[in-house]
Amino acid sequence: MKKTIVLIIGAITGLLLIIIISILSIFGTDLSCKTNVDSQAPVQSSKGGTSGGSWNNKGSKVYKDMKYASQRFKQMGYSGDQTATVLAIGWKESNFDPTIVNPGGAVKGIFQWGTGGVNGNRYGNTKDNVESQMDLVDKELNGSYKHVATKLSKATSMEQAEEAWNVGYEGEGLPAGD
């Protein structure tokens, strides 16, 4: 009897492993952040290229831009986790490329601000560089998006910071799984 139960459990376990491996091979398992741009619509650099390198290459433009943005968020009083969460969202939105444009949604920049149409024109006369775009973030978080600044600064987890930014600043629904 025990031998039969062990054989049945082994067969079920084997079948589950085959199903899991099949699903992973169909949908892929690349969990790296190397090319994780929001795929809702095509994006392109307004300068005709790709993003300025890798976030973990100290010599790249992306690394320097993210470091600058990190310092600005720190000056604004945000914690490391709050800052890291917002930078990760910027990476997802644009590979942290301040020149990125999504013509389908009429949005551009690191955080894909509206440039007209249904998304409004929050971008305005902002320049296509990290300094000007961080000035815009600072201005908005101290102005019409003060409620986001308050919620973000009170976030005690990266999940709460993500919700504060995505729902309040990006105007999206709750993060996946909520």
- At 161 the pLDDT is 95
- Beta-carbon contacts of 140 under 8 Å, excluding residues fewer than 6 positions away, are 122, 148, 169
- At 8 the pLDDT is 83
Q: Does domain 33-169 have CATH number 1.10.530?
A: yes
pLDDT < 70 stretches in the chain: 14, 16-17, 22, 24-53, 55, 173-178
- At 63 the pLDDT is 93
Q: What is the pTM of this model?
A: 0.69
Cα 142 to Cα 149: distance, rounded to the nearest angstrom: 7
**pLDDT tens digit sequence for 129-172:** 999 999 999 999 999 999 999 999 999 999 999 999 999 998 87
Tell me, rounded to whole angstroms, the distance of Cα 37 from its chain centroid: 8
- At 130 the pLDDT is 97
Cα 154 to Cα 168: distance, rounded to the nearest angstrom: 13
- At 137 the pLDDT is 97
